[in-house]
Structure 1
Amino acid sequence: FGNWIFASGGDAQAARYVGVPVNRVKILMFTFTAFCATVFATCQVMEFGSAGADRGLLKEFEAIIAVVIGGALLTGGYGSVLGAALGALIFGVVQQGLFFAGVESSLFRVFLGVILLLAVILNTYIRRIITGER
């Protein structure tokens, strides 16, 4: 099923040609995402007594940074779950390290941008080496 998900997101038409039910896979993934969001919101209500809509603000930026650090290409077509998990672990350790080092919170967003920029440059360099481009 994981290969179906990867194929549906990469090239839907090619996935259809090899027999992957692309529409059903996409609907299942959207449904699963909604289910996970519901579970998370329920956990927030149970813990804090209310669900704050702004608690996940700008987390997508952090998720992109973690995945790029883990080796996924921003152009698509390359990446792994293990790499994304490793990138999230590295990102979390760095985030906690900055917090305990007493770095000002407004500088944290600048640091995130620098990390993303360095990861993209390294990512592009590695992609060119792998594909043999110049």
Structure 2
Amino acid sequence: MRRLLFRVWRALRPVQTRLVWLLNAKFVVGVTGVVRDEQGRVLLLRHRMWPPGRQWGLPSGFAHKGEDFRRTVVREVKEETNLDVEAGRLVLLNSGYRTRLEVAYEARLLGGELRIDPLEILEARWVHPDDLPEGVQPVCHPLVQGATTP
């Protein structure tokens, strides 16, 4: 039986990629940055489009097709806050809600002047990891404490 399957698979070589695409899940990739300053504080943002009561979270956004996820962190932080960061180690890799893949990296503040994008962000705060505001997204708690789940 395995030999037959192998032969069928080889015969399908011209359409293998399309078959694999059709038979597997498709995901969008949400990328998050756990941005820390030199005092160990974490950058939290109150997102305009997130549900009321759960608007506080880390800088995040969707990766563009073909974009390196570390580059997504740098781009999203810049777009949302005007700050420059360097992406560090991977701290989360998880299949998220339905068709969303979640990726998070530690990120180090390099500079820039904090200026929020008012279309996406209502407020920005540097907070100590033990002093998170009410209404923070649940995934933020372990990430700001330094927990990893790659």
TM-score range, shorter chain: under 0.3
TM-score by length of 1: 0.23
| Structure number with higher strand proportion | 2
| Structure number with higher helix proportion | 1
TM-score by length of 2: 0.22
Structure number with bigger Rg = 2
